[in-house]
Structure 1
Amino acid sequence: MQERIRLRLDVAYDGTDFSGWAAQPDRRTVAGVLVGALDLVLGAGTATGLTVAGRTDAGVHASGQVCHLDLPAEVWQAHADRLLRRLARLLPPDVRVRAMAPVPTTFDARFSATFRRYEYRVTDAPWGAEPLRRHEILAWPRALDLDRLAAAAAGLVGEHDFAAYCRRKENATTLREVTRLDWRRDADGILVATVQADAFCQAMVRSLVGAMLAVGEGRRPPTWPAGLLTRRERSSEVSVAPAHGLTLVAVGYPEDPAEYLRRAEATRRLRVPVET
């Protein structure tokens, strides 16, 4: 049997013109573009098993996405020194492979992950978003209060059933542990929500942001988002914030490579495939 090696790829992309990560017939996706470039360099079907940490939705960006794939060892040896630069020449400017390196075959970009961290950017400036940043910042038409946003976020931290904020999938759990959720206002006036959890179910991050924005502008009390955690089905009162304000900024993994397999096995036992 031909020896194969596993590669970890660190990927960034502007999600504006992509129909999400996952390959879809007749649609431009990040996975489709990446596989196409790999096929051109290495030969069709040479790279197999492309697996991503988080299957981002259409319009969502990433600066810290992680994926893995498998290659014949001899192919990696032949291309290792120049593969990154060759991909840079072939890939469109809205997606970049920033780094690649061999990892143990027990590494699973999806199931070995210990956390995913997202940032959501909003401006409440009366003139809207700066033109050069309009694809990554949501322009909000009303003033937002940072203290109210922070109070709303505080009640959502911890392990909860986030059914009210998720698009339910059959046999999929909506129990998640949010380890960080906070807001800041940067020097340029942009409001940034940082959301970190072990994993997210589909539309969860943007739903959380949508609920907190309702608090920030004064339409809902700060206790309202946490109060929805008692629900066992998606809340029709929660608006899903637009995709373009959201960026996947980091994915965490065990520091000890010996823990990759144990983490992956534990994650598989806890839940079925997840998206955000």
Structure 2
Amino acid sequence: MQDKIIDFSKYSSIKIGPKLSIKIAQNINEAIDLYNSGYFLIGKANNIIFSPKKHKIFQLGMEFNYIKDLGDYIEIGARSGNRKVFLYFKEHNLSGLEFLGTIPGSIGGIVKMNAGMKQYEIKNIIQSVCIDGKWEENINFSYRNSNIDGIISAVRFKKINGFNKDLESSFKIMRINQPKEPSAGSCFKNPKILGIKEKNNANLGNFSAGKLLDLAGFRGYRIGNMKFSQKHANFLINLGNGSFKDAIKLIELAKSEVLKIHNITLECEVIII
């Protein structure tokens, strides 16, 4: 096991957090021991907002960064970066993970939260997940969530031939509509809404969290150096030296106003620790 100093105000995608000494687990037994001792596992910290307090945090070591072709499936270590996996699938003409080209992070975190874009989710091509050293096939996945409780050390994906370049292009276009400033990705999950009406009687249908925030007046809304993006209202961006305190103020205010206006309770997609 190793120790490593990380300044999360530079390392995390939203550029908020303290400088901490974290643990690096070199094998699954070390990872399980840390997890059971109350340590929080992170990957590339792309969807986390860190409070200023001290945290017990660990990462998986480079032993978990690999891609293996095992015949009927591809096995990928949980630390492997999404971009690396995307390029492997593209170079080997494999389908199902085209959206990974535009989503930052690592495979373990992406699988844990069942990440994706639109109707394309990572669960669709998962064969099995190695949790606490045991391969499991019966995982319950839901929208941006799973029932996985433990350490994901590796994932096996189905081999489906035919990389889809049209999908790759579509995902790139979606990415263009997202802000470039530091953020933790989508702030809120898209809620399931049926028959809700806005003040002008326009049926909201299945509107996204971004649309609900926009209708509630949060597009471009700012507290300190934290702001809901003008480009996409569901992205909380850091304009420079933004604080955890102001980020939480914005999140709580947005939840309160959307509930008041739309009678919808927004659920955070970002992780706050």
Give the alignment's TM-score, normalised by structure 1: 0.30
Greater relative contact order, per chain length (Cα 8 Å cut-off, separation 6+): 1
TM-score, normalized by length of structure 2?
Answer: 0.31
